[in-house]
Chain A
Amino acid sequence: MKDQKSSDVRIGVFICDCGSNIAGYLKMPTLVDYAKTLDNVVFVQENLYTCSEGGINEIKEAIPRENLNRVVVASCTPRTHEPLFQSACEEAGLNPYLFEMANIRDQCSWVHMREGEKGTERAKGQIAMAVAKAARLRPLNRIELSLTHKAVVIGGGVAGMAAAMALGNMGYEVDLIEKQDRLGGLLNDLNLILPTHEPPSVLLDDLIGRLENNPKVAIRTNSTVKKVEGYIGNYVVTAATDGNENKIKTGVIVVAVGARVLKPAGLMGYNGDRVVTHLELEAMLKQGAATPKSVVMVQCVGSRCEERTYCSRICCMTAVKNAILLKENDPTTSVTILYRDMQMYGVENEDMFRRSKELGVRYVTFDPEKPPIVEDGKVDVYHLRMGKQISMPADLVVLSTPLIAQEDVGEISTMLKVPLNENGFFLEGHVKLKPLDFATDGIYLCGNARFPSTIREAITQGLGAASRAAGVLSKDALHTSGIVADISPETCCGCLGCVQVCPYGAINFFEDRGVCQVNKVLCKGCGGCAATCPSGSARLDGFSSDQIYAQIEKALAG
């Protein structure tokens, strides 16, 4: 008989062979015998595959039969299989947080394939650690949250419109908040879109028409966001329309505030008259202004420099497009593009580039160390290939300036508690894994607000963000994880240490009582508060100090 320290804790250990993935490398009988010697373990079972229906049933049957109140599975990784085993516990009437895993496959048998003996020792250690932690687990509850099945889209450019349209078509009520007096954003100011040669109004009229006819979409032009409160499923957005404030309840928020074109004051002789930006050129072309005889375009003005290190991605395409349109208007116009590198990715853009050359557009590379010099009626540039300074006539100089962040992104990012990057563009949750989500749940991102994008990319991202948002809205209710921090009000001294380290703004200080309290909905269970709390009042259930200490002790007991 073994020494049972706390007789009310009854742990069942299930050790998985994973076919030959574990059993082929580790000594399973040794592990089974060892597990039986561990404190509080009353039942040990080896399974061929614990995650198979048979294995799951063995867990579900053993819980009532052996009167288990803790379950440990030694198998693969909790990152993939914890939810499955937790639900097995739950179905057998055991709180799912009274479950613990020992990773003896991904982090043991698979990485110690040639060291069966020592690998088995490590597995014994990991099982002992899991059992010691399991003995200290406490039942936890997931919190059910109400969910407002509505969306708010901030920004009525093409990305925001695409997102609003998609959500509206899925049947969700959408409030589309646009700062200006009309939808469309930057697209309103463009001349023609290649490769279709269509004015943007064709696309815009169609999108706006469909939005206006969608009974689920409320368009709020001349509106700005004043305040955002709440959390996923339960946001309240205060929007001001012509000075009248409205509180809009919503479950999710899509950020599509777009960007603006840099006006290159003080750069390359910019004057808005004979030296203009591409946006200004498009306005001139739209009004049917006479085509100048000689045009020089300069790329990367105000971008890829010390102040703004990024490439704005879309200016090369814009320059090539406008060069083609100028040439199509009047083939005798000379058009030269001074560039550092051409960014013309994709099949259509490559075709456009080729066509511009067929039309006689000249391309000259320049060295950023020796930038072009714009003077009245001419541009001088050091020609890298010829190795000398050349001069070219220029009735009109067009500067490719980057898209830069909107002026009010700081306020929006503070209101939503979402981050910006060093250039003021909104920063997604993860560059590859969560490109349209923020780290804050229930807030999504698309279009130029994230980074300069083409119309097609903006629409794609708008649809993607809508799809991510719908993933939340399609649920009946939301559940938070049970693994959240808790602060004992009896011992909390109100030092605010936890408030300062919490990355999610999940801890509030109540001045009247002088204590800090965790908002369990916002808490992500990182445990920063628990590690910081000088009085040990903050505790992360499921990863608490006593549980971690128990694991450390067992890790070093062998």
Chain B
Amino acid sequence: MSSEQFEPTVVGFLCNWCAYAGADLAGVSRLQYPPNLRAVRTLCSATVGPHQILKAFQKGADGVFVGG
């Protein structure tokens, strides 16, 4: 399935009011970035605790992004 080139998967926790809005704005502005992100919307980055971050790594995430 996977190609030889390393394709990381990054789980992004995006605050609805800033980072998620920023990610929307990137779309509206047609900025292009690699499709390796999986975005999880939160109402605030305060929702994201160590448990969520560790869970993502446990399940095989190559990176975790918390935007808030």
The listed residue (B30, B38, B43, B44) touching A556 by CB distance below 8 A is: B38
Contacts of A119 in B (CB 8 A): 35
Residues of chain B in range 46-68 having any CB-CB distance to chain A below 8 Å: 46-49, 51-52, 55-56, 59-61
> Contact between B41 and A78 (Cβ–Cβ < 8 Å)?
yes
> Contact between B43 and A528 (Cβ–Cβ < 8 Å)?
no
> Contact between A526 and B26 (Cβ–Cβ < 8 Å)?
no
Contacts of A77 in B (CB 8 A): 20, 24, 27
The listed residue (A122, A483, A527, A545) touching B46 by CB distance below 8 A is: A527
Contacts of A107 in B (CB 8 A): 23-24, 26-27, 39
Question: Smallest distance from the beta carbon of B38 to chain A beta carbons, Å?
Answer: 4
Contact with A along B8-27 (1 / 0, CB 8 A): 01010000100011011011
User: Bound state CA distance, A503 and B51, in angstroms?
Assistant: 21
> Contact between A112 and B32 (Cβ–Cβ < 8 Å)?
yes
Contact with B along A501-539 (1 / 0, CB 8 A): 101000000000000000000001111101110000000
Question: Smallest distance from the beta carbon of A115 to chain B beta carbons, Å?
Answer: 6
> Contact between B43 and A549 (Cβ–Cβ < 8 Å)?
no
Indicate the size class of the contact surface on chain A: 35 or more
Contacts of B59 in A (CB 8 A): 552-553, 555-556
The listed residue (B21, B34, B47) touching A526 by CB distance below 8 A is: B47
| Chain A interface main SS type | helix
**B16 (CB) vs chain A CBs: closest residue:** A79
**B46 (CB) vs chain A CBs: closest residue:** A528
> Contact between B24 and A556 (Cβ–Cβ < 8 Å)?
no
> Contact between B52 and A548 (Cβ–Cβ < 8 Å)?
yes
Contacts of A147 in B (CB 8 A): none
The listed residue (B30, B36, B49) touching A110 by CB distance below 8 A is: B30
The listed residue (A108, A129, A524, A527) touching B40 by CB distance below 8 A is: A129
**A553 (CB) vs chain B CBs: closest residue:** B59
> Contact between B20 and A105 (Cβ–Cβ < 8 Å)?
no
User: Bound state CA distance, A206 and B34, in angstroms?
Assistant: 63
> Contact between A79 and B26 (Cβ–Cβ < 8 Å)?
no
Whether A125 is near chain B, meaning CB under 8 Å from some CB there, is yes
The listed residue (A112, A121, A126, A532) touching B49 by CB distance below 8 A is: A532
The listed residue (B31, B36, B39, B47) touching A540 by CB distance below 8 A is: B47
Q: A106-B27, A107-B27, A112-B32 are in contact. Are A528 and B37 (CB under 8 A)?
A: no
Contacts of B34 in A (CB 8 A): 112, 115, 118
Among B21, B40, B61, the most chain A Cβ lie within 10 Å of the Cβ of B40
User: Bound state CA distance, A544 and B34, in angstroms?
Assistant: 29
Contacts of B56 in A (CB 8 A): 552, 555-556
User: Bound state CA distance, A526 and B43, in angstroms?
Assistant: 5
Question: Smallest distance from the beta carbon of B48 to chain A beta carbons, Å?
Answer: 6
Among B27, B37, B43, B44, the most chain A Cβ lie within 10 Å of the Cβ of B27
Contacts of B61 in A (CB 8 A): 552, 555-556
Contacts of B60 in A (CB 8 A): 556
Among A112, A545, A548, the most chain B Cβ lie within 10 Å of the Cβ of A548
**A125 (CB) vs chain B CBs: closest residue:** B38
> Contact between B48 and A531 (Cβ–Cβ < 8 Å)?
yes
Whether A336 is near chain B, meaning CB under 8 Å from some CB there, is no
Whether A103 is near chain B, meaning CB under 8 Å from some CB there, is yes
User: Bound state CA distance, A363 and B9, in angstroms?
Assistant: 63
Question: Smallest distance from the beta carbon of B42 to chain A beta carbons, Å?
Answer: 6
**A106 (CB) vs chain B CBs: closest residue:** B27
> Contact between B49 and A531 (Cβ–Cβ < 8 Å)?
yes
Question: Smallest distance from the beta carbon of B7 to chain A beta carbons, Å?
Answer: 8
Question: Smallest distance from the beta carbon of B23 to chain A beta carbons, Å?
Answer: 5
The listed residue (B32, B41, B49, B52) touching A111 by CB distance below 8 A is: B32
> Contact between B27 and A555 (Cβ–Cβ < 8 Å)?
no
The listed residue (B36, B38, B40, B47) touching A531 by CB distance below 8 A is: B47
Show 6 A/B contacts (Cβ-Cβ < 8 Å), sorted by A. A126-B39, A527-B43, A530-B49, A552-B40, A552-B59, A558-B9
* 5 further A-B pairs in the complex, CB-CB below 8 A; given A77-B27, A542-B43: A78-B16, A79-B24, A106-B28, A111-B26, A530-B47
Instruction: Tell me the B residues contacting A by CB distance below 8 Å.
Output: 9, 11, 16, 20-21, 23-24, 26-28, 30-44, 46-49, 51-52, 55-56, 59-61
Closest 5 interchain pairs by CB?
A527-B47, A106-B27, A531-B49, A526-B44, A528-B46
